[in-house]
Amino acid sequence: VRDAVAQTRARGQRIALVPTMGFLHEGHLTLIDRARSLADWVAISVFVNPLQFGPGEDLDRYPRALERDADLAAARGADLLFAPTAAEMYPDGRPWIAVVPENGADRLCGTVRPGHFRGVLTVVAKLLGIFTPDVAVFGQKDFQQAALVRRMVKDLDLSVAIEVAPTVREPGGLAMSSRNTYLSSAERDAAQALAAGLRRAEALFRAGERDSATLVASIAGVLTARGVEAEYVEMVDPDSLDPLERARPGAVIALAAHVGSTRLIDNVILPDSDG
Ligand code: AMP
């Protein structure tokens, strides 16, 4: 990677990195498109990072298809696919030094996934160190992750631009996710409730509703009606992640829910009145 990066820089070209855990879908591939629009040379990493999985989570059964990923990434125009082993990334098993978020990681997904964002930020910091990209591209679907990565770059004075691309959805609205492969067809139907709930809240917001509790309750109603169990539904500031009582354009309503044994997340950015 260092050689490829050095050669690219020697040509005066800009470098973009798209970090992923693989089992690529159209959501990941649009990140490659965005990266391509911002840089001359695009690398994608595929690494199921053990450090961001908690005990009892799905590290062992997380879907993997490296050959297929390599074909998809190449066909979409990625110049390099980096797929290290866990032993290459963490030669001592666990890192001595980790990036620990002091704020913002103990809420939303962090409530039930303690240590998750420490794992995410540590591996992203390593990938940024390996590639020294001009720009790294993340997805809005993992909104808390993107917010914390932006904050890490700011607080640690890293020299990289962070881009966040919109969530790509299945025709019914379900946000694409490698974890959707866990869903039975009945569960896949039920899972549409996440996006349907967020669409309903967005419609209420467009119609003038500004009360957070009312917007959140409208989503909870849609989830319950489809037998989907919400883990959290919250409206927050997109940068500080602080809870908001009053809705405004740019605020994010984020949720996590269990469909059967699968944990899914989704969110919506509340639009400008003309948006
Ligand atoms: P993952 O492989 O799930 O860790 O995701 C890798 C990157 O792809 C992250 O920046 C995600 O936010 C992004 N991503 C995952 N799903 C989607 C989607 N449906 N639309 C846009 N970006 C996504």
> How many Å lie between the centroid of ligand 1 and the Cα of residue 263?
15
Q: Which ligand 1 atom lies nearest to the CA of residue 28?
A: 8
Q: Which of 93, 107, 101, 91 is nearest to 124 (CA)?
A: 101
Does residue 34 have its Cβ closer than 6 Å to ligand 1? no
> How many Å lie between the centroid of ligand 1 and the Cα of residue 143?
10
Provide the b/e sequence for 148-160 (b: ≥16 CB within 10 Å). Answer: bbbbbbeeeebeb
Provide the b/e sequence for 224-254 (b: ≥16 CB within 10 Å). Answer: eebebebeebbbbebeebeebeebeeebbbb
Any catalytic annotation for residue 25?
Answer: no
* pTM for the model: 0.98
Give the closest residue (by CA) to ligand 1 atom 22.
139
Written as tens digits, the pLDDT of the chain (275 aa) is 999 999 999 999 999 999 999 999 999 999 999 999 999 999 999 999 999 999 999 999 999 999 999 999 999 999 999 999 999 999 999 999 999 999 999 999 999 999 999 999 999 999 999 999 999 999 999 999 999 999 999 999 999 999 999 999 999 999 999 999 999 999 999 999 999 999 999 999 999 999 999 999 999 999 999 999 999 999 999 999 999 999 999 999 999 999 999 999 999 999 997 65
